[in-house]
Structure formats: C-alpha cells, structure tokens
Chains A and B, each alone.
Chain A
Amino acid sequence: MKKVIVACGSGVATSQTVASKVKKILEENKIKADVSAVDIKSLDKYVKTSDVYISITKNTKEFNIPTLNGIAFLTGMGIEEETKKLLDLLK
C-alpha cells in the first residue's frame, strides 16, 4: 500500500486536520493508502519510506518524493488541482 505523509510545525493541529481531509478524499475515490501526520523533526526518516509528502510548511530543501501543497486541503483554495495530483500519484 502506498504511503502518504503530512507534516506541520508541531503535529497538533494542522497536519492532523489535513491528514483526515486527505483520508476522506481517498475514501471517496476508493483509493487505499496509508495517510499519517508526522512530526516535522523526523521528516527525513519518514520521507525515505513514503510515496507522497503533503507539506504545510515552507520547504527548505528538496525531497526525492512528490510534494503537494497541504494548505489547499485546509482552506479549499486550489484543492481540485492538488486532489487530482494526489489521485494520479496514488493510482
């Protein structure tokens, strides 16, 4: 199963919210994937074993897995575009 990670500053609010929204979208589209909110301090470790990274903070470095804009899932601004990218990546 493909793995999606979401990270924000502390992992107490935003990443959890985005992760649950993403889970809902995947369910609606009948796509199975493992979605989890992770602590940004351990991001490097998680990236190695994940397929997609949904980012809520400014990225200071490039990762070698596809990175999506997490803010879109939070505010709904640009959500169609990010959803399409996500679904394509998980197909």
Chain B
Amino acid sequence: MNYADLFDEELICINKEFSSREELFEELSNILYSKGYIEKTFKYAIKKRESEYPTGLATDVMNLAIPHTDVEHVKKPFIFVAKLKKTLPFIQMGTNEDVINVDNIFILGIKDPSKQVNLLSKIMEKLQDGIFKGNYTSISDEKEMATYLKQTFGSEK
C-alpha cells in the first residue's frame, strides 16, 4: 500500500490542548468515526488497550505515543497525528508505571498488518532524521503537514 494514503489533513491536529488522555481518545475517536475510518467499538478498544499495553515511547528526539488496537475496530487504515500544546502523561511501553510526558501522538489505524508492517519502523526512522524532525516540528498548519507527510511517506515502501 502507498503510505501517503494514510494521511489526511482532517486527521491532523496541531497545537491543541487536551485535559487528559481520556479526552484525547474521546475527541479523536469522534473525528475518526465521523469520517468513517473506524467502527463504533474503536473508542472503547483503544482506551482499554492503552491501559493494558501502554504505548508511550521516550526517545532521544521526542516523547511520543503510538496508540493502536486490533484490526476489527478499524474500517480503513489511517494515521492520526496530534501535536499537543500541553504534554499528556502516558505510560512507557513495556512498563506498568513509568510515566513520560508526551507531546506527539500517532494513532495507528492498522487494518492489514502484513501491508503496514514497515510503517512503524518508517515513523521511528524519520523521527530520528534531523531534517524530518525539524520540518515536522516547525509546521503549524494542518494542510501543510498533511502534504509534507504524504510526500515524505509516499515514496516509502
């Protein structure tokens, strides 16, 4: 699949503030549902999954979270990108209690794992690339971000 198709300017939110993780999942799920990307069950499933298997990731370049859940809750594949105004606490993946403050969320809507297997490695790889990181950090317009992400990931397999 062409990864460019996963990005949509309506699935990008920049500089938005959420009072909690709960509110973030609530609002983003509502957007995804209204655009036909997910089943109604997604909202509950993603919250439950995050509490059982947390997805916060502390890296050298930024703290991010990659919430995702089982394929049956996803109608069509997507990536929801949220750059937060104020950090939210997430639990570090692989732990039950290590809290990290996250300001970048990538919700992965995975429908067919075999076709999207390289997606997460590409994201991780790009974030560690200084040029990408610089551009990603400085773009503050949703439309511009969608174009940039489509361009960047579109050529990737």
Contacts and interface: CB of A to CB of B under 8 A. Distances in A.
Contacts of A69: 94
A49 interface: no
B96 A17 contact: no
Contact of A10 (B58, B70, B119): B70
Interface residues of A, number: 22
A9 B118 CA distance: 18
A14 B121 CA distance: 9
Assign chain B's interface to a size class. Answer: 20 to 34
Q: Which DSSP category, helix, strand, loop or mixed, fits chain B's interface? A: loop
Interface in A1-22: 8-14, 16-17, 20-21
A48 interface: no
Interface of B: 49, 52-53, 55, 57-60, 66, 68-71, 92-96, 108, 110, 113, 116-121, 124, 128
Interface of A: 8-14, 16-17, 20-21, 55-58, 69-71, 74-77
